[in-house]
Amino acid sequence: MSIAAPRFSPLSRRLSLMNLFVSGAALLIASVAFLAYDQFTFRENLVRDLSAQAQIVGANSVSAITFNDPQAAQNTLSALSSFPEILAAGIVTPDGRIFARYSRNSADQIIAVPMIPTGNDEAVDFRSGEVFLVRAVHFQGKNIGGVYIRSSQAALAHRFWRYILISFIVLLASLIAALLITSVYRRALAGPIINLAQTAESVSAEKNYSLRATPIADKTEVGLLINAFNEMLQQIQVRDQALRDAQGELEQRVQERTQQLVAANHELEAFSYSVSHDLRGPLQSINGFVHMLSADYDSKLDERGRNYLQQLRSSSRRMAELIEDLLNLSRVSTTAMHGEKVDLSALARSIASNLQSREPERNVEFVIANCSPEDGDSRLLQIVMENLFSNAWKYTSGRPHARIEFGRQNRAGGRVYFVRDDGAGFDARQTDRLFKPFQRLHSENEFPGTGIGLATVQRIVQRHGGEVWGESQAGRGATFYFTLRTEASSQRKQA
């Protein structure tokens, strides 16, 4: 598919204007140069003619000057009346006195005759619209006077304006001829470029890579550009088709994976149901028999038997806790979220109050900042705060006076919340194990737990579009940070 070039476009207009400008500028420069040369040459010829006339008058006036005959000199000057451009002329003595004078207009006043510079025979003075020439007259090697001629420059001005008119006519005719010639070649030069530009615009707007610019037969740069552009479109079309095929295949794979994920979720729900019903029943039976055994036969068992029974009771209780934590981890990953405004500071104060009422004998200082409400699921964020505060409460149990702090920091990427304690802490080299299920950094004898709490926190925070991380040094407390927005998740590297 090709797009026909328009008959007139900004490109062809610019080409025409450029040709006219270049042609006009060249002709104008040439005309100015020729005009300046003509004026200079005409002035030189004018001075040369006046000098020759002054020389002739001076030669014919030698006898009149020698014999002091002003009338004869006057008659000689009268011969200049046949030259209409000569306005006045005269003969002066060496002391500057007017010896004889001719004037075309009798009302002309006698003007001062310029002096001839020493060592020269002639002086020329161009005045407003006139030329004043003075030439010395010599007889037998002596200066016996001088001849002056005052001539009009009207011929020079007439010649100037006539040349301007001729130049304007030539310039106008040349521009018209250039415009006609440009119109002939404009379409051949601008047409392919315009077609190429329109094709590129259509491809960009429609994303239709089957379009092609109209090729031209010549092998100029424009032809090579069009061929390269069409070849590029061909390659893009092939790659676009391949991309569409790959996209269709990817969508099919995504659909298959989605179906597999849905099936896996159903299996997970079935597993959770099995855990909550099928495993809890036998476990409760075990706990019942352990209780009956302890009640009926405790007096018949020796110390070793009672120890075994106590270990069985502890293991059964831990098994129940693991099942409950595993179910909670599954629920936070699959249950639907309900967005609302959540006051994390209020949650922190409520959890701190519950912890203190549970173990009132402990001396723990809670420092809870007042933070503005945050968007999130209140039920899930309650679990996050309970797990973080429970960890801080548990790992500060060995301190006679402990401190647990909740606050918020405003950083470049957003708001970052934290829970800080001065408890046992953990080895920073094992940070990558913190949020993995059933991974514990302390033994059961030191601090009880199942290793599910932080994994649950991470899944809830990730569902809120945020990130959670921890910082600590063994024996010097720990700080857990979390964000609830995607743009703040980069703060882990800045903490």
Please report, for the domain that includes residue 96, its CATH number: 3.30.450.20
* Residues 379, 342 share a domain: yes
* pLDDT tier for residue 482 given thresholds of 50, 70 and 90: very high
* Residues 480, 377 share a domain: yes
> Which is more confidently placed, 130 or 348?
348
Q: Is residue 176, in this structure, part of any structural domain at all?
A: no
* Residues 376, 318 share a domain: no
Q: Is residue 181, in this structure, part of any structural domain at all?
A: no
Cβ atoms of 135 and 92 within 8 Å: the answer is: no
279-299, pLDDT tens digit by residue? 666 777 777 777 777 777 777
Cα dist. 62→93, 141, 383, 440, 457 in Å? Answer: 11, 12, 134, 137, 130
* pLDDT tier for residue 87 given thresholds of 50, 70 and 90: confident
Q: Is residue 295, in this structure, part of any structural domain at all?
A: yes
* Residues 388, 342 share a domain: yes
Q: Is residue 183, in this structure, part of any structural domain at all?
A: no
pLDDT of 343 above 90:
yes
Q: What is the pTM of this model?
A: 0.43
- Work out the average pLDDT over 473-492: 69
pLDDT of 73 above 80:
yes
* Residues 305, 346 share a domain: no
Q: Token pair of 382, please?
A: 């309650």
* Residues 354, 313 share a domain: no
Burial of 266 (0-12, 13-18, 19+ CB in 10 A): exposed
* Residues 377, 444 share a domain: yes
* Residues 253, 130 share a domain: no
pLDDT of 4 above 70:
no
pLDDT of 157 above 90:
no
- Looking at 137, 169, 201, which one is the last position of a domain? 169
471-480, pLDDT tens digit by residue? 887 778 888 9
Cα dist. 163→33, 84, 159, 220, 476 in Å? Answer: 12, 22, 6, 43, 102
* Residues 307, 361 share a domain: no
pLDDT of 405 above 90:
yes
Q: Is residue 184, in this structure, part of any structural domain at all?
A: no
pLDDT of 17 above 80:
no
| β partners of residue 122 | 135
Q: Is residue 83, in this structure, part of any structural domain at all?
A: yes
- The answer for residues whose C-beta is within 8 angstroms of residue 26's C-beta and 6 or more apart is none
Long-range contacts made by residues 371-375, C-beta under 8 angstroms, separation at least 24?
371/343, 371/344, 371/345, 371/407, 371/408, 371/417, 373/341, 373/342, 373/343, 373/344, 374/341, 374/342, 374/344, 374/415, 374/484, 375/339, 375/340, 375/341, 375/342, 375/484
- The answer for residues whose C-beta is within 8 angstroms of residue 216's C-beta and 6 or more apart is 192, 222, 223, 226
Mean pLDDT (the chain, rounded): 79
Q: How many domains does the chain have?
A: 3
pLDDT of 495 above 70:
no
pLDDT of 487 above 50:
no
Q: Is residue 256, in this structure, part of any structural domain at all?
A: yes
- The answer for residues whose C-beta is within 8 angstroms of residue 442's C-beta and 6 or more apart is 395, 424, 426
Cβ atoms of 451 and 431 within 8 Å: the answer is: no
* Residues 161, 125 share a domain: yes
Q: Is residue 230, in this structure, part of any structural domain at all?
A: no
Q: Token pair of 306, please?
A: 């009672």
Determine the pLDDT at residue 450.
58
Cβ atoms of 391 and 451 within 8 Å: the answer is: no
Q: Give me the domain span that covers residue 284.
A: 239-334
| β partners of residue 376 | 340
- Looking at 116, 145, 169, which one is the last position of a domain? 169
* Residues 254, 362 share a domain: no
Determine the pLDDT at residue 348.
93
Q: How many CA atoms lie within 13 A of 285 on its CB side?
A: 5
Helix axes 453-463, 378-395, angle to 10 degrees: 150
- Work out the average pLDDT over 436-463: 69
In degrees to the nearest 10, what's the CA dihedral of 188, 191, 192, 195? -170
* Residues 421, 310 share a domain: no
Q: What percent of the chain has a predicted confidence (pLDDT) above 70? A: 79
> Which is more confidently placed, 449 or 230?
230
pLDDT of 485 above 70:
yes
Distance linking the first and last C-alpha atoms of the chain: 59
Our measurement of the distance from residue 454's CA atom to the centroid of its chain's CA atoms, rounded to an integer in Å, reads 45
316-331, pLDDT tens digit by residue? 776 676 666 666 666 6
pLDDT of 176 above 80:
yes
- Looking at 169, 184, 203, which one is the last position of a domain? 169
